[in-house]
Amino acid sequence: MDTSTIAVRSELENKPVTAIMVELPHGTDRAVRNRPQSTKDQALARSFIYRFLARAYQVPDPDGWAWLNDSSTQSRLWSAIQVFSSNPQSALKKAGEEFALYLGAEDFDSFRKNYFTVFSTGLCKLTEADYVQPNAPATLQSERLHMLADSYRRNRLVPIARKGERIDHICFELEFVGALAAQEASAIGRNDPEAKRCAEARTAFLRDHLSRWLPQVTQRVIGVSPSNAFGALARFTAEFLKHEFQTVPKTHRPHKPVRIPALRAVELAR
């Protein structure tokens, strides 16, 4: 699956979400220090982190690799983390720093080779259907995909899948939540009912989709590749999702994912 071609497009703008994402402005760190954190700050930060994670889980290509390592991208990532956790000793901040260190220590060829070892061999699958009712009949699986597509479209976002890509892939779902956060940020202060609708849609998607399978993905990745960039990426993802799942009302949170057996680490490229 060439997830580098995954895009979620706006029906109104007809542009890739990554092109219409609301960017964190330069100097956000100073702004966060000098004024109280606002809901819009959180929506902007959330949008960028989901966008960053979606890009990190795509099949590596030179453009994506350059974007992940770009100093501007890294600066915006730290700004976004700062919004959610100003404590330099926080688990989220440490996990983000760890991923950045591993990323900086690798070259593109080893990063790409390790991606295929971890994700394209079946060790760690990246589609929701492989974790939520994986043995369901094809008709039920198809129905779930139709429901997921309807969820995208109800929020004025159309998934564009190429080469047989599935719309329940991790990159689609992360991009979708990032897009909802971007729409929320844009609506805050000018159309608050729309901002509330976006926030509720985001919370519902976390409850009904991401919280049901991404914890298992991160657990599996850490199990097979604990000491490389992808293990660090999984730890960063897990710490960020812990914060996100706290936004889901306790009475509506799903049961904890079933624990999976410990996996043997695989030998990866250096």
How large is the angle between the packed helices 229-245 and 211-224, nearest 10 degrees?
150
Q: Check residue 66 and give its pLDDT.
A: 95
Q: Taking 80 as the threshold, does the pLDDT of residue 6 lie above it?
A: no
* Number of residues written out for the chain: 270
Structure-model confidence comparison of residues 65 and 26, the more confident one:
65
Of 17-31, 87-101, 180-194, 236-250, the one with minimum mean pLDDT is: 17-31
pTM of the model: 0.80
Of 14-23, 39-48, 95-104, 226-235, the one with minimum mean pLDDT is: 14-23
Which ranges of the chain would DSSP assign to H, the alpha helix? 17-20, 28-34, 39-56, 62-69, 71-84, 91-105, 108-119, 138-154, 170-187, 192-205, 211-224, 229-245
Q: What is the mean pLDDT of the chain?
A: 80
Q: Check residue 158 and give its pLDDT.
A: 77
Categorize the per-residue pLDDT at 122 as very low, low, confident or very high, splitting at 50, 70 and 90: confident
Q: Can you tell me the mean pLDDT for 17-43? A: 49
What percentage of residues in the chain have a pLDDT greater than 90?
A: 57
Q: Taking 50 as the threshold, does the pLDDT of residue 33 lie above it?
A: no
Categorize the per-residue pLDDT at 250 as very low, low, confident or very high, splitting at 50, 70 and 90: low
What are the pLDDT digits (tens) for 180-204?
Answer: 999 999 999 999 999 999 999 999 9
The domains of the chain, with CATH numbers, are 3-252 (1.10.3480.10)
